[in-house]
Structure 1
Amino acid sequence: MMTDLESRVSRKLMLRIIPFVMLLYFVSFLDRVNVGFAALTMNKAIGLSPTAFGFGGGLFFIGYFLFEVPSNLILHKVGARRWIARVMVSWGIVSLASAFVVGPNSFYALRFLLGVAEAGFFPGIILYLSLWFPTRQRAVAAAWFMAAAPISTAIGSPISGAIMKLPSIAGFADWQMLYILEALPAVVLGFFVLKYLTDTPSKAQWLAPEERDWLIAKLKTEADARQSHAGHTAGAMRALRDPRVLALALIYFGTSAGLYTLGLWAPLIIKQYGFGSFETGLLAGIPSIAAVVAMILWARHSDRTEERTWHVVIPCALACLGFVFAGNASTALMIVLALVIVNVGISAAKAPLWAMPSMFLSGAGAAAGIAMINSIGNLGGFVGPFAIGWLKNVTGGYSAGLYVVGATLALSAVVTLMLSRQSKQTPVAAGERHGH
């Protein structure tokens, strides 16, 4: 049971930090995947084939991969407040510039630059949460933060669909208006981050002195306990070579392949059943509502039981089955149901997965390791969408690509089990597995 002081601190952390970082991720994810709606008219306007669109959509993650670790190490040095602000303003500018692409090459260049600009945001926030939330609240805090992605799809899809129906303004096409209108919030919020975010608990004037002292002591006690384990990693270079980091990156690869396949291709897959842009947006948003509920409830169960492995394996297996079902769907109802299953599985796996790294990483090791997991894992966001586009060109349909993405999630489940089995042989693994 929580003490009164612990409950007060937990409530203040959740109310002060989580809604704001959710808003930031909402805007981030919207700018990442609105290309799926822009594609409804942009592809024809600038001459993009399905392969070219899948390739360009995935190039985001190549830029992300190359700059993720350096970006997070800089954040560790200069603090989250200044670096997250820089990230948001720069990605907002690049996203806005996407309205002016004129062909495949400029599309490729802007997608790559968007990845470069946004590198460090997601792992930076995951690192930031680990600096504030004690272990027992960490999966739930991460789940609420990451729930912004499906919420962004649920709310953003109808908004994007509605923008695509706007009449031409100042000579801009519908897909250009989409990029411009959805890029502006990132720039505005970037400046607001400088005012609102607090770098560390010791600087939190919004906590009472006894609350601040308790939180600092609690986090230090947990950090000292982790560092006493033989398998603990604090150095950046050691973290980058740690097999557990590479295993978690491979697990995350499958969930990313699934997530961004949905983000980039779901509107086009749904639209083939004869729906207009707005109706497509509404239908694309339905699975995300179920995903948010599943994500929060599953993370709470993971924190309460202090178990991580099966809380990753089960949803990854479910998402794999969902992609197989989607590949065999023959009606709009079946495809939406399949997308619900896929969304629930992918979303539920993420919070327990992201609760694992901070069990054996700290300091610069956490900054580097979390960034490495995210950067390698997010290459799935390149492979998944590209596989769908390339195999659609080859086969004329979506099924083969959906099966390939499903296979990456099956691999995620298998690697999670292998990591757990290996972990049982070391003292740190029990802590990693049970959340101590």
Structure 2
Amino acid sequence: MHPQGTTTQEVATLAKVTRRLVPFLIICYFVAYLDRVNVSFAALTMNHDLGLSQTAFGFGAGIFFIAYFIFEVPSNLLLERFGARKWIARIMLSWGILSGLMAFIPNIARATGLGNETTFYLLRVLLGAAEAGFFPGIIFYLTLWFPTEYRARIVGYFMAAIPLSTVIGAPISGLLLYLHGGLGLAGWQWLFLIEAVPAIILAGVVFFYLTDRPMDAAWLSADERGWLSEKLLTEQRQREAIRQYTVTEALFNPKVIGLSLVYFGAVATNYGLSFFLPQIVKAFGLNTFLTTVVSATPYLVGLIGMVWWGRRSDRVAERRFHTAIPLFVAAAGIAISTALNDPSLKMIALSVAGFGIFACLPVFWTLPTAFLSGAAAAAGIAVINSIGNLAGFAGPFAMGWIRDHTGSYTGGLLLLAGLGIVATGIVLALGRDEARERMPMVLPG
């Protein structure tokens, strides 16, 4: 479905751009996200082997995001300066190498004398620094190729890699955990090694395959390049006619800070649950492989919700309530799950939460790109993502700490639900800019 007033050239050009870029970027983000969260599946056997408590695991899983926070804005500004092709290739190569090194935590710990726990923390910090800038870089990159009224669905397609990485990656990770003994490595070590290889290979593909901007796209005709470049330039002028932000203004803009807090709540519900969901499911009495399969259920629901909800938001040209409603659904699903002891009912509630967690994300990312452009957009997106992803540290750490001190995940889950409710309230309080949401896209003449 295309917006009203679209021309044959618009449909053909954007279809070609979508086919060229979106599937490839989905694959890249699939690999990125799997390398980020595969530690949750490795934990099913790794924690015992390394002697990690739930608090230590939660801290190590989350400390990734501290480094991510520190390096996010500089990384995105460098991407805007040097181009997506070179910078994303650099990011993927470095994180692939570091993700593979997670397999050798015991060896590194013995060689350095740091101990398993400290080595685990150190590698997670380095992995966060390496991956910083990838996601906001892609969000910024998509603004260079797709007009505003297409962005929720396009970001939805791209971010579908998050639940997809679990739907597909969970059973694969579960099977890899059974690879014991080869070369003296445990299954969780093989998991890290094997799942690091695609990132290293894709780094080279990114360098030669991606195109930085429409005017550089030899795979578009001259007319298509000209039309798309002019359309995107017109949008930028429309935004800047209302208000043109500098990088510094974007960094400290109250709306950017507000959106950062919204994203903090959204990320908390996502990572706080995802890093511990396999261990919650394991308590149902399932074996390791079935645990990974059942853990994928909320992500399958989230995958469907993400794509459908993003397309719906584009169709009705509404963003605020399309962000707030799924945030509330996520919070409600998580909260209700704590009152249910039956495994089937608990998974239904967590699957409802999965819909909300993932459906809000593509629509949310249309909010900052509606009023920021150029370097200011690169900086603003990075600020929102970096502050929001601090919840990737806070959520898992709080979950692990509460679990160790109470013997239950209930308190941690209720904390995540509370953060989701707060995020819902902030979205509604930020108000709606209908002029920007319905910005006319048809070029004059």
Aligning the two structures, in what range does the TM-score lie when normalised by the shorter sequence? over 0.9
**Aligned-pair Cα RMSD in Å:** 1.1
| SS of aligned partner of 2:234 | helix
Candidates 414, 430, 435, aligned match of 1:403? 414
State the 1:383 CA deviation: 1.1
- Superposed counterparts of 1:25-40, under 5 Å: 25-40=29-44
* Alignment pair present for 1:46 and 2:59: no
Asked if the contact 1:61–1:115 (Cα under 8 Å) also holds between the matched residues in 2, the reply is yes
Residue equivalent to 2:119:
106
1:199 and 1:367 mapped to 2: Cα distance? 14
Aligned to 1:154: 167
1:66 equivalent in structure 2: 70
- Indicate which of 184, 200, 205 corresponds to 1:187: 200
Query: How many residue pairs get matched?
Result: 427
Does structure 2 conserve the Cα–Cα contact (< 8 Å) formed by 1:154 and 1:288?
yes
8 Å Cα contact 1:68-1:372 kept in structure 2 = yes
Q: Is the 8 A contact 1:81 1:193 kept in 2?
A: yes
Give the TM-score normalised by the residue count of structure 2.
0.94
Contact 2:328–2:421 (8 Å) recurs in 1: yes
Deviation by residue 1:157-189 (Cα, 9 ceiling, x = unmatched): 000001111232100011111100001110100
Q: Give the counterpart of 1:140 among 153, 157, 160.
A: 153
- One-letter identity of the residue aligned with 2:215: S
**Secondary structure at 1:347's aligned position in 2?**
helix
* 1:430 to partner: Cα distance: 3.1
| AA aligned opposite 1:22 | I
Matches within 5 A, 1:6-405: 6-102=10-106, 103-230=116-243, 232-233=244-245, 235-405=246-416
Q: Structure 1 residues 173, 330: CA separation in 2 closer, same or farther (over 3 Å shift)?
A: same
For residue 263 of structure 1, report the CA deviation from its aligned partner.
2.2
Matched residue type, 1:77: R
Change (3 A) 1:226 1:325: same
Q: Counterparts of 1:435 and 1:55 in 2: how far apart (Å)?
A: 44
| In structure 2, C-alpha distance between the alignment counterparts of 1:23 and 1:148, rounded to whole Å | 7
Which aligned segments of 4 or more residues in structure 1 are displaced greater than 2 angstroms? 429-436
Say whether the 8 Å CA contact 2:372–2:380 is kept in structure 1: yes
Output the amino acid matched with 1:345: G
Q: 1:3 to 1:73 in 2, by over 3 A?
A: same
Mapped partners of 2:349, 2:123: distance in 1 = 32
Secondary structure at the counterpart of residue 228 of structure 1: helix
Counterpart of 1:122, as a letter, is F
Provide the C-alpha distance between the structure 1 equivalents of 2:25 and 2:435, rounded to a whole number of angstroms.
Answer: 28
2:111 corresponds in structure 1 to: none
Amino acid across the alignment from 2:151: R
Q: 1:434, CA displacement in angstroms?
A: 4.2
Name the % identity: 47
For residues 435 and 285 of structure 1, what CA distance do their matches in structure 2 show? 38
Amino acid corresponding to residue 390 of structure 1 in structure 2: W
Distance in 2 separating the partners of 1:187 and 1:203? 25
Give the direction of change, closer, same or farther, for the CA distance of 1:434–1:327 in structure 2 (3 Å limit): farther
What SS does the aligned partner of 1:11 have? helix
Structure 2 equivalent of residue 426 of structure 1: none
Whole-Å separation in 2 of the counterparts to 1:38 and 1:434: 45
The alignment partner of 2:224 has SS state of helix
Unaligned runs of 5+ in 2: 107-115, 441-445
Q: Is this contact kept in 1: 2:273–2:413, CA < 8 A?
A: no
- Label 1:435 to 1:323 Cα distance change in 2 as closer, same or farther (>3 A): farther
Which sits farther off after the overlay, 325-334 or 44-53? Answer: 325-334
Question: Normalization by structure 1: what TM-score?
Answer: 0.96
Q: Distance in 2 between matches of 1:307 and 1:285?
A: 30
Q: Does the C-alpha gap of structure 1 residues 77 and 186 become closer, same or farther in structure 2, counting only changes over 3 Å?
A: same
- Provide the rounded CA distance (Å) in 2 between the counterparts of 1:107 and 1:84: 25
Look up the equivalent residue of 2:221 and give its one-letter code. A
User: Residue 102 of structure 2 contacts residue 120 of structure 2 at CA under 8 Å; is this kept in 1?
Assistant: yes
Paired letter, 1:220: L
Q: 1:126, 1:307 → 2: CA distance?
A: 19
CA distance in 2, matches of 1:192, 1:262: 33
Structure 1 gaps, min length 5: 424-428
Q: Is the 8 A contact 1:24 1:189 kept in 2?
A: yes
